[in-house]
């Protein structure tokens, strides 16, 4: 569930994405249960797995580079280390002028 592109790891939390069609099997196979985040918006939680559920198909969406998705994910954590890495990923994507996986310029 981790990407080597992130260039960092956390020993306490696993975060990943799964299509809706896989969620029931993931919950069963890995004994996951839904807890959600506190209403305060803080990342404090009792669980150690953050699973983002995405639709199985995203019709009409624009492809986005993996680095941009990872940067957005890291920025949500609001930690100094995560923010710094998100900036690095954004700068790398901007330096290459990448908008999508095919290298289409912005």
pLDDT in tens, 75-89: 888 889 889 999 998
By DSSP bridging, strand 14-19 and strand 49-54 are parallel
Q: Look at residue 98 in the predicted model and tell me its pLDDT.
A: 52
Q: Look at residue 17 in the predicted model and tell me its pLDDT.
A: 79
Tell me phi and psi for residue 27, to 5 degrees.
-60, -45
pTM for the structure as a whole: 0.53
19 or 12, which is more confident?
19
**Which residue's structure tokens are 């710094």?**
84
Q: Look at residue 106 in the predicted model and tell me its pLDDT.
A: 47
pLDDT in tens, 26-61: 999 998 888 765 544 455 556 788 888 877 665 556
Q: What six digits make up the tokens of 70?
A: 């990872």
């Amino acid at each position: 569930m981790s990407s080597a592109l992130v260039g960092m790891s956390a020993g306490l939390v696993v975060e990943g994405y799964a299509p809706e069609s896989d969620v029931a099997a993931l919950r069963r196979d890995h004994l996951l249960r839904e807890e959600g985040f506190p209403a305060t918006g803080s990342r404090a939680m009792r669980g150690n797995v953050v699973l983002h559920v995405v639709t199985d198909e995203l019709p009409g969406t624009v492809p986005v580079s993996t680095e941009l998705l990872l940067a957005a994910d890291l920025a949500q954590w609001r930690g100094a280390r995560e923010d710094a890495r998100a900036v690095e990923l954004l700068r790398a994507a901007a330096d290459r002028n990448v908008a999508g996986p095919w290298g289409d310029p912005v």
